[in-house]
Amino acid sequence: MPVLVFLHEGLGSVGLWRDFPAALAERAGCGALAYSRYGNGFSMPLSGAREPRYMHDEALVTLPELLAKLGIKDIVLFGHSDGASIALIYAAEHPEFVRGLVLEAPHVFVEDLSIRSIAALKTAYETTGLRERMVRYHTDVDRTFYGWNDIWLAPVFRDWNIEAYVERVTAPILVVQGLNDEYGTLGQLESIAHRAGAPVDRLLLANCGHAPHRDRAAIVETATAAWIVSLSS
């Protein structure tokens, strides 16, 4: 069976996955790898501002190096938000290693909804208890937050687009999307389904926001595990 590689969202970390990776891996009968990316969790804090290609750098440099060092060559990528975008870029470049992709709340282009919600999140970070809640999960919470928030709100980032990478993905895809996602619309899914060179299954969840594995954990775990098992049948 493949190894499940978990790629967290822009403000995520290993700790914020909680027990989901272990539970899904056990249910699917797979190994699991989860890590906090540079600038997140208790990995090395950011040393400067992020560039628009930060997800490309993760997918094309860091992730390949990590998997090579660990000798992992048969994977299913489980990416959430930024992590889903990283998964798509990696899968386009390294199809020989990717058995499948689970894309939770993916982004392949920048939407007005995303920008509005990310701007509102900045206000919440500075005026509510959000910062205090995040401190438990990151070495330098301000660098983590502003490093991500600033680049998404930068005018130059509006042109960010990875649809050309989607067209080169050949592994089966499961897209998981909450119907109340405040950071992305179903237009993201439509683009993936239209462009990908592989079957694209969809799990759309009512009463669910940007983090289906937290908002609707039981159904995401059950459906995703069954889908992963089907890749080997």
**Which segments within the chain are labelled E, that is strand?**
3-7, 31-34, 75-80, 98-104, 173-178, 200-205
The domain that holds 130 is classified in CATH as 3.40.50.1820
Structure confidence at residue 232 (pLDDT):
84
From residue 188, give the alpha-carbon distance in Å to each of 13, 184, 195, 226.
Answer: 24, 7, 11, 24
Residues of the chain falling short of pLDDT 70: 233
Given its phi and psi angles, is residue 71 left (phi above 0), alpha (psi -120 to 50 degrees) or beta?
Answer: left
Q: What is the dihedral of CA 233, 21, 180, 229, to 10 degrees?
A: 10
**How many domains does one find in the chain?**
1
Q: Is the pTM of this model over 0.95?
A: yes
Structure confidence at residue 1 (pLDDT):
86
Structure confidence at residue 42 (pLDDT):
96
Which structural domain, as residue segments, surrounds residue 164? 3-230
